[in-house]
Amino acid sequence: MPTPTKKASNGNKRFTPKPKPLTPQEAVPTLIYGPSNNWIEFSKKMSLAAGDRFGRLSDIIDHGTYYVPPLPVPDISIVDSAMRDKVLEADYRERSKVVMKQETDKAMLYAFIVSKLSLESEDELKRHSNYSTLHASKDPSDLWKALQQLHLTNTISKNAAFVLQQS
């Protein structure tokens, strides 16, 4: 019985490396303006990218509001009042750090969102009635609401489910 032989390769095959996976920031598509826009895909990918890069600040995209860390509560299991006060003070410091990080990251998130707009979307944003205050404040929440307003109302229907489906 003959043994199976391997096919001889001619050595001309090129090695094609696998494409490098995209980072969440690279995976966000450019937002297109018009009746066949990509708002739904854009908002999903933007939420993931913002969550990866800015943490809980991405709640703006998901819920339309900023994340507000809960106020620390004194731990009553700690008997010593001086120690309880120190622990509570440390909890307040941690909460303050989260709030301050959000404040400093707002302008970066604003710039990241604007960087993913097409020329048409950017032009429409500049025509928005509140653009001057949006641009001056660099508030990503207001920017997101304005973009949502511009990109979700490209239909004559006022039915919210239909508007989402159309976009």
Note the pLDDT tens digit of each residue in 45-103: 999 999 999 999 999 999 988 989 999 888 888 888 889 899 999 999 999 999 999 99
pTM of the predicted model as reported, rounded to 2 decimal places: 0.74
Q: pLDDT averaged over the chain?
A: 84
The DSSP output letter for 117 is B
Structure tokens at 71: 């106020």
Rounded CA-CA distance 97/54 in Å is 14
The DSSP output letter for 31 is B
Assess contact for 142 and 129: CB atoms under 8 A: no
> pLDDT value at position 81?
85
Structure tokens at 29: 């598509």
Task: Provide the residue type at 59 as one letter.
Answer: D
Structure tokens at 37: 């826009």
Is residue 8 pLDDT above 60, yes or no? no
